[in-house]
Amino acid sequence: MTVRTPTRPPGAGVLRRAAARRDTGAAIPRRTVPWAQRLRRDYPLALMVAPAVILLLLFVYVPLLGNVIAFMDYQPYIPILQSPWAGLSNFTALFTDAAFWAAVVNTLEITAIQLVLFFPVPIALALLIHSLVWPWLRAVVQSVLYLPHFLSWVIVVGFFQQSLGSAGIINRWLRELDIHTINILAEPSTFKLLLSAQVIWKDAGWGTIIFLAALAAIDDSLYEAAAIDGAGAWGRFWHVTLPGIRPIIVLLLILRLGDALSVGFEQIILQRSAVGPGAAEVLDTYVYYHGVIDGNWSTGIAAGLIKGLVGLVLILAANKAAHMLGEQGVYAKS
């Protein structure tokens, strides 16, 4: 009589050993797949992403090599390698230039004002849109709010000039009523607030897209459970809505801090002549006028390099703060 031993399913030993390691707390080794095998497996995805990677390499990473000009006495009519090395003299000239520090101060002030005034507006608009009951009304409001984003800054600035300029509609009404007129677009003291108002009008609606997606991902049963527990509207917002969108808020805030020294080149250069460089000179316009127009290429590249390094430091610091607060941030903590 033949006794047949029961057969085990394929992979049972592997699963049993993995369970034993998990129970004992031992690390489970990962199975490494050879690079050639992964390439054969994922080549359709690689082909799909190849054009974007090529464009990124050609127009983002390869131009980064041009930052070496910041350490040279560069002249645009001779090859780069034939330009004499200047060491850190361009950075020394930059740090001793009062116009550079004035541009830094203006840039930081505009960034701070926009963080306070602009950043909360898309969140508030997303909450209001999400609270609308009728889907058709929600679609209409979203379409109206999205529209200004697709207008160029030339059109937006022209719209504000026709409304708030010296010959604008508001000043014409004031003249008809024999009231003192004011050219808000040419007032240096309110120029930074004007920039923030323009950014809010143009991009606040577009910024609601991500927050609306985060709000839609919140389970409705959480609101029902909170209501059963006696939570009112404010309690449901504080304990359900805010935790649901907090990771997105932290992520966008980190990305905004990384781009803190870029406050809108096109928007500002279109209005710089009206208020003067004292109020409108930022780092981007400084690089353009002092680096490109005046021919100080090396100094302009040095200013751009400092701007990029400061942005990188701000992103890393903000991401570290997010990890300390329990959020994932831009990248997960290792």
Q: What is the DSSP string of 172-230?
A: HHHHHTT-----GGG-GGGHHHHHHHHHHHHHHHHHHHHHHHHHHTS-HHHHHHHHHTT
pLDDT of residue 14: 47
pLDDT of residue 52: 93
- With H, G, I as helix, E, B as strand and everything else as coil, classify residue 27: coil
Task: Tell me the three-class secondary structure of 44-70, residue by residue.
Answer: HHHHHHHHHHHHHHHHHHHHHHHHHHH
CA distances from 283 to 269, 287, 324 (A): 11, 6, 31
61 token code pair: 């990473």
pLDDT of residue 138: 86
- With H, G, I as helix, E, B as strand and everything else as coil, classify residue 276: coil
Indicate the pTM of the whole model: 0.77
Residue type, 102: A
255: Cα within 13 Å, side-chain hemisphere: 9
Q: Is the Cβ–Cβ distance between 119 and 207 less than 8 Å?
A: no
pLDDT of residue 11: 46
pLDDT of residue 244: 86
Burial of 298 (0-12, 13-18, 19+ CB in 10 A): buried
Low-confidence ranges of the chain (pLDDT < 70): 1-31, 332-334
pLDDT of residue 8: 52
Which residue intervals of the chain are DSSP H helices?
A: 12-24, 35-56, 89-95, 98-117, 120-130, 135-146, 153-164, 169-176, 191-216, 220-228, 233-236, 242-258, 265-269, 272-275, 277-280, 283-286, 297-324
The conformation of residue 73, written as its DSSP 8-state character, comes to -
pLDDT of residue 200: 92
pLDDT-above-90 percentage for the chain = 10
CA distance 212 to 185: 34
